[in-house]
Structure 1
Amino acid sequence: MAETNLGRARMVVDDDEINLGALFGVLFGRKFLILALTTLGMFLSAFGTLSSRNIYSADALVQLEEKTSSIPGLEAMDVFAEAPRTAAEIEIITSRLVIGSVVDTLDLSLVAEPLAPPVLRRLPELLPPVLSRALEEVVPFSGGFNWGDAAISASRLEVPSEMLNEELFVRKLTPTNFEVSLPDGRTLEGTLGMILRDETSGLVLKVDQLSGRIGRMFVLKRLRRMDAINAVKNGLTVSERGRNTSILSIVYQDVSPERAQRILREVTSAYLGQNISRNSADIEQSLLFVEEQLPQAKVRADEAKEALNEYLRSQNAVDLERESEALLTRLTELEGELSQVLLEEERVSRRYLPDHPIYQDLLLNQGQLEQQIAELEEGIEALPETQKQVFNLRQSVEISQEIYRQFLNRSQELGVAKASSIGNVRVVDEAVASSIPVAPRTSRVLALGTLLGFMIGCASALALFFFRKTFDTLSDLEPLGLSLYGVIGQISGLPTQRPKRGDAITRLSQTDGNEAPKEAFKSIRTSLHFSLADKSPKALALTSAQPGDGKSFVSHNIAEAVGASGQRTVLIDTDMRRGYLHRTFGVSHTLPGLSEYLAGDIELEQAFQHVGENLVLIPRGKVPPNPSELLMSHRFAELVKLLDELFDVSVYDTPPVLAVTDPLIVFRHVPIRLALARHGKTELGAIGAVKSICDKEDLPLDGLIVNGFDAKRAKGYGGYGYGGYGYGGYGYTGAYSYGSNKDER
């Protein structure tokens, strides 16, 4: 079949160019298949969209601002500013920290909704209420489903852990009462607005509202918290608007626009809350450190002041000179600055590693202050001993008091900063839901479904064309290299199958009209006339690949056409197993025929049956046990010679060559050997196998006759054109059952 498919491919692709006419012809020939698959694709897409729930979308915009130092007094220092990390913020928004807070706040683990139809669930939403009610009345067992009028509101549902994710079915009994079906098969009755408790299962339920007709069904379910979080995350989409804009677009999709908007607003609120908490964490840690150090600083200041007073009383010391006072003031200022730097280092060390530029700047500033302090202390060493001691004590007092004042001021500043912390996230657009569903997109789905169905239809049509085993156009036969003796079209008024026993048989010559087939047999007669002109004996044999190709029909019509031209013609039914030419001409099956003559039971004239003008039939006779042996006998060879002497043309109807070997025996005694192929039924591989068998036996076929040719079908597969084809051989595997039919009448 490889060469067959290659030949068909060459019909639509010739010289590296696509033959659009042939391709269109192939598609047009399967137009009903393409139309059916296109319609099916459109129907399935419409069915899918009507069976899907509407999805609505809510969206919001948030801006990520640069984060500055949360420590008061350092906001203007650019080194402490941080660019927002968009990817990290997206992960935070979709984290369980934020989504879990939303689930808990809105109680999203509680699912309460009307029971939707299993299919076409969007149909009630599209139909007017009057049509919905009418359809509900027509469709059986549909009273419990939501037909656009049902709604439920439940404020409380508590179930044990083993009933999590289990569905509870609620049925409306009266305007105020309902019935709950539990997973264990029990039912409970409750009242709207009242708490329903079941001690056996641990169920606690409060249904506030049930809308819809009596008998409507509703579904209640308490999800596991993690399942509820995942459900919200699946509907949430966060992306950056543009590139490096720090503007985040947050979109949430849900079956209800109000629910989508409510959930998204809670998501943005929870994200803002955690952002503020995260930004105030530094302030809280710094405030905790300052509050821990403040009492200790006060104690150290008091102790330093008491030590100075005690020394002055014991030494009767006087106050410091002006020069010493200047040293003390400068040293106190430096110690205060150093204390402030050390305090800032404590905060920075919690956020950065020592090799960070911000940390390095602080260390550099600390080193410079320590160097200046060391230089001042060297100057102090040159003072007198008593003055030096007073200076040191006075310095200790000033430094301790300055440190205490710094801690006290810092404590107050951090308290104010904590109270006024606002975070670095700003909501640009509040969450708003659209009333127009974003999915399913009906028009797009219908267009894609229709297009997909059309493409599948075209692909199926081409596949059936390229991989079909039977021949569809006359061009398919050209690789066989056989002469086409004739093409017989479809004939109206005659059976297309082998007639059953007892059925009356009408010959073509007995029908009115059918001029085209009659002319086809006359054309075959003309071709045979020239082919037999120089042949001896003037005989032809006709075979086919399989039963049912119309071999006997063609044989007797050729014989009738030849006889009608005035030539004495004899038609021999050599199919002694299942031949039925005697029925075609109304000859009794009890009369002797070929089998009796070959067996030597009768003379030749006794087998003759005059069935028409210049036409004699030799029927098969009784079914013998050894038809092949009879044909191989010398009497059959003598019969061929005798008939050639008595008649102008002899026509031998033989069995199918792929079923039995009888045709090959007959072929050895006749000069013209023809094969028959039925359009749309005979496989190309079978025809190729017949040709190969005959060539192997050195009995080449002289030509081919096509029977039952459907011009419309052939036109649909590329017309009648012939192209350049190569022939390499046909593979065929198969066998035909061709047992004797002794009961044939």
Structure 2
Amino acid sequence: MNQNSKISEDTIDLKELFFSLIAQWKIIALCVILSLICAMLYLRVTSDIYSVDAMVQLEESKGAASAALLGDLSKVTGGFGQKSPVDAEIEILRSRMVLGQVIHNLNLNLIVKDNSSGIMDKFLSQGRSRLTYQHDAVTFTNKQNSLIIKQLTIPEYYSDKPLILEFKDSNHFTFTYKDQVVFNGKLNQKNTSETNKGLWAVDINAQGELLKQSYTVSKLALPTAVKNFNAIYGVSEKGKMTGVIGLSYLGQDPEQITQILNNVLTVYHQQNIERKSLESKQTLVFLEKQLPELRKQLEDSEIKFNQFREKYKTVDVNAESELLLKQNIDLEKLKIELQQKQAELSAKYTNDHPLIRQIDAQISEINKKIADLNNRLTQLPETQRLYLQLYRDVKVNTELYTSLLNSYQQLKIANAGEIGNVRIIDTAVEPVHPIKPKKLIVLILSIFMGGFIGVLIALIRNLFQTGVKDSAQIENEFDLPVYATVPRSPIQETRMSILKKKKSIPILAVKHSDDIAIESLRSIRTAIHFALSSAKNNIIMISGPAPEVGKSFVSTNLATIFAQSNKRVLLIDADMRRGYMHKYFNLEVTPGLSELLSQQVSLEHVLHKTNVENLDVISRGKSPTNPSEMLSSTFFKELLETLSPLYDHIIIDTPPVLAVTDGIIISQYAGVNLMIARYAKSQMKELELSVNRFEQAGVKVNGFILNDIQRSSAGGGYNYAYAYTAQKDN
């Protein structure tokens, strides 16, 4: 083998690869069609999925309660407004606090499935069943029939477990778990029962043909229901640092998913307001507790002060005493305000928080100043000191009570007007078009997928077809010429599988003399003419390494081509085991060569004239038990010597060389020995063994014919834009 052949074996011929795919276009087209059918079936049985969306905005708010209560005091504390992080709000929107309430409101923890509906039912049915969730019931409808579950309270043991709902008659139903009845009840009324597993409370209504069916009913535990909800529920921030959160929800029922997402917005907004008003509620609790006590202190201090004045009449108060009294009143007022702020902040923070500790430090400092003032008051004269103490108590209690009462009223108003820091921008709107399956995309992808699978199968087939694919392989390996490369005939292939079952097969060279396969065989005439010029006789033997390589096709049409060129030709079917050449000429299989070699009949009885002028045929005859012995007999040799002068060409079709020895025997009498190799089927090893057998018998193979070409070969000079059909033996 030369260097060029080695290089060609190691490289990929893209042109050959392309035309090998073109030759297998039927497989690719079939895969595309099957893929399209699967896609259409998928679209038929798959329910449309819709999506709804909504948006909420988080606003920075200091809180109406704080502003109403503190007033100027907020400046002292420095303002404690806190911005709610978006990430925290997203987690709240996914929490059991919000979703659990939505699931409870709409009974989303109930799942009902019709056990009688399968894939075929989905494919054949026009109307789909529908499961509707409402606050007071879950309704399963199918056409005009409905199953309504108004209440389903089950023991915790059966949560997340499939319960089979069946109807005994039009009035009774049962729940079954693992083939065991766990509950019996009556339709259209509430049923309660206490079992060892827990309490059952069931209220079911059903009507129509639904009573003839069974259903799988599952009540999900809260964690499972929330997990399932989050699987089709999306929450994310729109952009970065925008404070706008987008919500989305998927489902098959546009009206239902719109209702569910709007319920999520309602529950979330309510809890946000409650969370924001918690500060006001905490302060109101403190004020409601302090106001009665402070009022009682005010009344007691007024009584004592009035009694003192009646006893001592009027007492003058100097400027120093007035100053001490005013300072004491201001400190007491500031102290009570700080205590109110401390109560407010305790709703948000623990006692160790810096803000709480700062308030505690301020209260301690005020207590020290009050104690110092009280100490200075003790240094005044007895009557004046008592007067100041009583007057201070009345004044402080009056101002504190008035201030707290005013704050209480303002706080009640602020609490009633609390709106939270969440603003709903877009509510969920019922969608019109489904988001999936995207039918056009599915169909386009199915075409590409089918084409890809078809090409893959074609490449795999091409990969496993390790036979001869180039005439150069044969010439380089055996140093023998390839007389012709015969492409597939598009006419012969479409009919061969049918015609072989009939009694007659049309000859391609007669019916379609312009066929591309016949044109290729015509090119052999010149090569055979030169081969016969140096041969010992005019006998041409055509053989092959294995069955179904096209020996009979080539032999019959080659003989016809010679006859059409005014040559007297004799065609002998020497395959006495499986030959079917008689079908080409509409002859009976007997009498034939086997009867002639066994000397049962004479030559005149087996020599048949055909419809092709100048062409005679000897059929194989009845299958003998010893065909090899007959062919190796002296009578067969003498027969060929007798017939050779009577014809210009004698063409003998032989059995496969590797199967039997008949071809080797006949080759000893032939002047030209041709070997048929079939494209992509005949292996190089088979050809090598066949050539070796001829050489062992002292016979030389004159050349090859490469049959059934299925591609475009630049080296062979062919360029076929369509797939040709195969011609082969049985």
Deviation at 1:11, TM superposition (A): 0.9
1:11 aligns with 2:15: yes
Indicate the SS of the match to 2:242: coil
Measure, in 2, the Cα distance between the counterparts of 1:639 and 1:404. Answer: 149
- 1:576–1:624 contact (8 Å) kept in structure 2: no
1:413 aligns with 2:386: no
CA 410–607 in structure 1, closer or farther in 2 if over 3 Å, else same? farther
CA 451–665 in structure 1, closer or farther in 2 if over 3 Å, else same? farther
Counterpart of 2:594, as a letter, is H
Name the residue aligned to 2:45.
51
CA 459–669 in structure 1, closer or farther in 2 if over 3 Å, else same? farther
Indicate the SS of the match to 2:446: helix
Out of 234, 247, 252, the residue aligned to residue 250 of structure 1 is 247
Out of 591, 596, 605, the residue aligned to residue 596 of structure 2 is 591
Measure, in 2, the Cα distance between the counterparts of 1:509 and 1:376. Answer: 128
Measure, in 1, the Cα distance between the counterparts of 2:520 and 2:394. Answer: 128
Name the residue aligned to 1:602.
none
CA 126–67 in structure 1, closer or farther in 2 if over 3 Å, else same? same
Deviation at 1:217, TM superposition (A): 4.7
Out of 261, 266, 269, the residue aligned to residue 266 of structure 2 is 269
Measure, in 2, the Cα distance between the counterparts of 1:669 and 1:616. Answer: 18
Measure, in 2, the Cα distance between the counterparts of 1:373 and 1:359. Answer: 19
Out of 429, 442, 445, the residue aligned to residue 452 of structure 1 is 445
1:237 aligns with 2:230: no
Name the residue aligned to 1:155.
150
Which stretches in structure 1 are left out of the alignment for 5+ residues?
A: 14-21, 128-144, 313-317, 597-604, 726-737, 739-745
CA 647–8 in structure 1, closer or farther in 2 if over 3 Å, else same? farther
1:224 aligns with 2:223: no
CA 409–90 in structure 1, closer or farther in 2 if over 3 Å, else same? same
TM-score by length of 2: 0.66
- 1:549–1:707 contact (8 Å) kept in structure 2: yes
Q: Any idea what the Cα deviations from partners look like across 1:6-58, whole Å, max 9, x if unmatched?
A: 88751167xxxxxxxx57x945x656555554444444334333333455555
Counterpart of 1:483, as a letter, is V
**Percent of residue pairs bearing the same amino acid type:** 23
Q: Any idea what the Cα deviations from partners look like across 1:684-742, whole Å, max 9, x if unmatched?
A: 4x343334446778969764435567xxxx5xx6x5755899xxxxxxxxxxxx9xxxx
Q: Which moved more, 1:525-534 or 1:474-483?
A: 474-483
Name the residue aligned to 1:525.
525
Deviation at 1:589, TM superposition (A): 2.0
Deviation at 1:146, TM superposition (A): 6.5
Measure, in 2, the Cα distance between the counterparts of 1:559 and 1:258. Answer: 80
- 2:174–2:185 contact (8 Å) kept in structure 1: no
Measure, in 2, the Cα distance between the counterparts of 1:618 and 1:39. Answer: 46
Indicate the SS of the match to 1:273: helix
Indicate the SS of the match to 2:70: coil
1:98 aligns with 2:98: yes
Out of 62, 69, 85, the residue aligned to residue 68 of structure 1 is 62
Deviation at 1:512, TM superposition (A): 5.9
Deviation at 1:86, TM superposition (A): 2.0
- 1:474–1:720 contact (8 Å) kept in structure 2: no
- 2:468–2:684 contact (8 Å) kept in structure 1: no
- 2:378–2:385 contact (8 Å) kept in structure 1: no
- 1:525–1:562 contact (8 Å) kept in structure 2: yes
Indicate the SS of the match to 1:591: helix
Name the residue aligned to 1:549.
549
Q: Any idea what the Cα deviations from partners look like across 1:299-358, whole Å, max 9, x if unmatched?
A: 99999999999999xxxxx876424643553465356546645664565477469999x8
Measure, in 1, the Cα distance between the counterparts of 2:10 and 2:173. Answer: 68
Name the residue aligned to 2:721.
none
Indicate the SS of the match to 1:329: helix
Aligned counterparts, 1:549-588, within 5 A = 549-555=549-555, 558=558, 586-588=591-593
Deviation at 1:454, TM superposition (A): 1.8
Aligned counterparts, 1:294-305, within 5 A = none
Indicate the SS of the match to 1:589: helix
CA 79–577 in structure 1, closer or farther in 2 if over 3 Å, else same? same
Counterpart of 1:50, as a letter, is R
Measure, in 2, the Cα distance between the counterparts of 1:509 and 1:38. Answer: 34
Counterpart of 1:587, as a letter, is G
Aligned counterparts, 1:189-338, within 5 A = 190=186, 192=188, 194-195=189-190, 204-207=201-204, 210=207, 217=213, 219=215, 221=217, 223-226=219-222, 227-288=224-285, 321-323=318-320, 325-326=322-323, 329-330=326-327, 333=330, 336-337=333-334
- 1:114–1:150 contact (8 Å) kept in structure 2: no
Measure, in 1, the Cα distance between the counterparts of 2:316 and 2:508. Answer: 153
CA 627–352 in structure 1, closer or farther in 2 if over 3 Å, else same? farther
Name the residue aligned to 1:438.
434
Q: Which moved more, 1:477-486 or 1:636-645?
A: 636-645
Counterpart of 2:482, as a letter, is S
CA 407–47 in structure 1, closer or farther in 2 if over 3 Å, else same? farther
CA 244–519 in structure 1, closer or farther in 2 if over 3 Å, else same? closer
Whose relative contact order is higher, 1 or 2, with alpha carbons under 8 Å and at least 6 apart? 1
Q: Which moved more, 1:638-647 or 1:45-54?
A: 638-647
Q: Any idea what the Cα deviations from partners look like across 1:49-86, whole Å, max 9, x if unmatched?
A: 33334555554443322231443226976842222322
Which stretches in structure 2 are left out of the alignment for 5+ residues?
A: 1-5, 129-139, 310-314, 476-480, 583-587, 719-729
Measure, in 1, the Cα distance between the counterparts of 2:288 and 2:14. Answer: 93
- 1:33–1:457 contact (8 Å) kept in structure 2: no
Counterpart of 1:221, as a letter, is V
Indicate the SS of the match to 2:144: coil
Out of 403, 421, 432, the residue aligned to residue 424 of structure 1 is 421
CA 400–366 in structure 1, closer or farther in 2 if over 3 Å, else same? farther
What is the aligned-residue RMSD (CA, Å)? 6.3
Name the residue aligned to 1:683.
680
Deviation at 1:245, TM superposition (A): 3.4
Indicate the SS of the match to 1:548: coil
Counterpart of 1:451, as a letter, is I
Deviation at 1:275, TM superposition (A): 1.9
Name the residue aligned to 2:88.
88
TM-score by length of 1: 0.65
Between the two proteins, the alignment pairs up a number of residues equal to 660
Counterpart of 1:705, as a letter, is I
CA 669–327 in structure 1, closer or farther in 2 if over 3 Å, else same? farther
Deviation at 1:485, TM superposition (A): 1.7
Q: Any idea what the Cα deviations from partners look like across 1:88-137, whole Å, max 9, x if unmatched?
A: 2122122111222223333344456888843454876669xxxxxxxxxx
Deviation at 1:546, TM superposition (A): 2.3
Deviation at 1:256, TM superposition (A): 3.9
Measure, in 2, the Cα distance between the counterparts of 1:532 and 1:388. Answer: 160
Q: Any idea what the Cα deviations from partners look like across 1:638-665, whole Å, max 9, x if unmatched?
A: 9999999999767564543454677678
Name the residue aligned to 2:135.
none
- 1:52–1:440 contact (8 Å) kept in structure 2: no
Measure, in 2, the Cα distance between the counterparts of 1:219 and 1:230. Answer: 23
Deviation at 1:528, TM superposition (A): 0.9
Q: Any idea what the Cα deviations from partners look like across 1:339-384, whole Å, max 9, x if unmatched?
A: 645664565477469999x849x94x99899889989999999x89
CA 406–240 in structure 1, closer or farther in 2 if over 3 Å, else same? farther
- 2:575–2:655 contact (8 Å) kept in structure 1: yes
Measure, in 2, the Cα distance between the counterparts of 1:669 and 1:578. Answer: 22
